[in-house]
Structure 1
């Protein structure tokens, strides 16, 4: 097994002889400070988890995060992003705000608890003496910079140094019934500045359609993301461009000049259309100047049908003839991505961890103590185990690669899953990666690039942006709020109490009115 639970014993722990605690603290924001030979980079951890609408067990999740932070690293990542699906009950998710905060805040607590343990461990190893003098409570290692949700799906952005994150933008799209967010995607885009350089980063958190047979719907959900997720209002972009275009002066040319005039007008129209498409490209998920990371419960399975009673399931035993890596060749996401039907242009690091879904959590073993870090489980018999929870990225563009050792590149430290948690039938998956600092101007495709040939979606959009995307999302959001309050009043104890109080008050007022 390559999950964190098994990999903890093999994680790299680089020792240090530095005796100054303050020096060790300065190294914590990056586990690999850039040297003169190493281009500057961003140490990033992106984690996806289907929370099954339950409150997070902070001590358990925090303990597992510690192991994830230590895997192939000696310090903390500079940026942590969480993609959460089914983050809370649907009523709370649709209403948001006050009702959703208790669910989201637990992840902030868990991350900071785990990070503080890492800091304390490094400080104690680097100190020759133990300071027993009581000190003030430490500040939070991570700051929650932005939290955003679309229905069930949320994205949380944390940073060690929030001041390095500039120009944060948001985008969202729903593709549930009536385009509401029981299934959907939410994104954040920002400029990260450090070490005299910068990179533009785009993160998308999503939850695609479930069920084995729903493969076409999953691909359609991804198409909805490409078409409807815009970081600025596309209608404003279109209208602004229309008003900025000055029409050619009308004149009546001689008859023999009419073909030439038609050709010139046609060329002018094509050029204007190309300029407009470039502006829309810049507000899409595939912005040419940005790196892109997509994480979530993508729900791609290893079969289009449910398993029969006699089905063979993957085994985590390396000696078994059904050892789980042999089943990955059936993975729908890999097949559909290679065929160009989903996740266009994105790459994925080699998957070595076991299936992350679907788990039946068993009762605790006798004598189990809290926190329960080793949860007994078995695969659910009515679903084929699958790698539903994934993280993909848009790699360094080909036009920046010269074919030598100095080429900017991603360095994947770990792509793995966490152990089973009692709260969910999914396992969390995380990606720890060093992202090179490449300025937005350097990322942009060169003018001589043949956009008609390049398959990089930063050069040519696979699908045009819907100009009415923001208007459609606003209409869907109004439906979510109405549905959320309706579900809250009729399906929760608090809502029933509110209804009962209102009815009792109304009955009392009516009785007084009739009596007097």
Structure 2
């Protein structure tokens, strides 16, 4: 089905404004900027993709069902196996501003994109948000968790969002922790620091609390080595890595499975800051 696109302006700050109105103008996207009839100039057209190739300033919807859609796509970005989209309720589109992405490679040679993250920065009304989708270093050997810690710290250090505002007066976040709300999710690859046999025994007992006490990410966070001050939701489910396709059995545990047996773990998680 053909898609109809509406361009969004990356920055809402007008070139000329009185100082008293700067706060509102900087964070509010005038409704006309989200209209289909908005005829953006060539400069805006060139800015619809950032240096990583992200679609930044287009809202996509199906023309035949536009009035029925509850959400609009505002960002779409892929880096090797990492893929991020951000969808916004259509009534909020006009209030989205300062939309930017950043991609950091942490894979082969410490720079390729098979590991790393995609980060999205945006404002909704007067609140700034940052979403980080990451795929951290793999490995189950003792000490591999420190490589994952290093990935997190380097992502925080290297991520820098471009400055789009035309005027000074209010600082728009350029680093991850400068945002009002930060959500970090993805395949963080932290393991459970137990043998396969001990992990399976606790799984059989549905003893999530005992398993979680041995979760590498919890251990590293409690020690203050990574994600200090961040929060994770309560775990109410068994480790999700790695099930066989269309099965409740973990990979490598059945006679018909040709997958390598791995110790189950909560690889995929979500953290929030502030």
* 1:187 matched residue in structure 2: 119
- Higher RCO, Cα 8 Å, sep 6+: 1
- The yes-or-no answer on 1:296 pairing with 2:186 is yes
8 Å Cα contact 1:188/1:203 also seen in 2? yes
* 1:202 matched residue in structure 2: 130
Q: 1:390 aligns with which of 256, 265, 269?
A: 269
- Paired residue secondary structure (2:68): coil
* 1:176 matched residue in structure 2: 107
Instruction: Report the structure, 1 or 2, having the larger strand content.
Output: 2
Where does structure 1 differ by over 3 angstroms across 4 or more consecutive aligned residues? 135-139, 320-325
Structure 1: tracts of 5 or more residues without a match: 1-95, 102-107, 113-134, 234-278, 362-374, 396-516
> TM-score, normalization: structure 1?
0.35
Q: For 1:358 and 1:156, how far apart are their aligned partners in 2?
A: 24
Aligned pair in 2 of structure 1 residues 348, 311: CA closer, same or farther (>3 Å)? closer
Deviation of residue 345 (structure 1)?
2.3
Matches within 5 A, 1:472-487: none
Deviation of residue 146 (structure 1)?
0.7
Deviation of residue 394 (structure 1)?
0.8
Aligned pair in 2 of structure 1 residues 136, 166: CA closer, same or farther (>3 Å)? closer
* 1:165 matched residue in structure 2: 96
| Rg larger for | 1
- Paired residue secondary structure (1:286): helix
* 2:218 matched residue in structure 1: 334
Aligned pair in 2 of structure 1 residues 231, 386: CA closer, same or farther (>3 Å)? same
Structure 2: tracts of 5 or more residues without a match: 1-51, 164-170, 253-260
- Paired residue secondary structure (1:378): coil
Matches within 5 A, 1:496-515: none
Q: For 1:218 and 1:293, how far apart are their aligned partners in 2?
A: 18
Q: For 1:147 and 1:137, how far apart are their aligned partners in 2?
A: 19
Instruction: Report the structure, 1 or 2, having the larger helix content.
Output: 1
Deviations 1:374-413 (A, max 9, x none): x323013421111111110112xxxxxxxxxxxxxxxxxx
Aligned pair in 2 of structure 1 residues 137, 216: CA closer, same or farther (>3 Å)? closer
- Paired residue secondary structure (1:200): strand
Q: 2:69 aligns with which of 116, 136, 140?
A: 140
Q: 1:217 aligns with which of 129, 147, 150?
A: 147
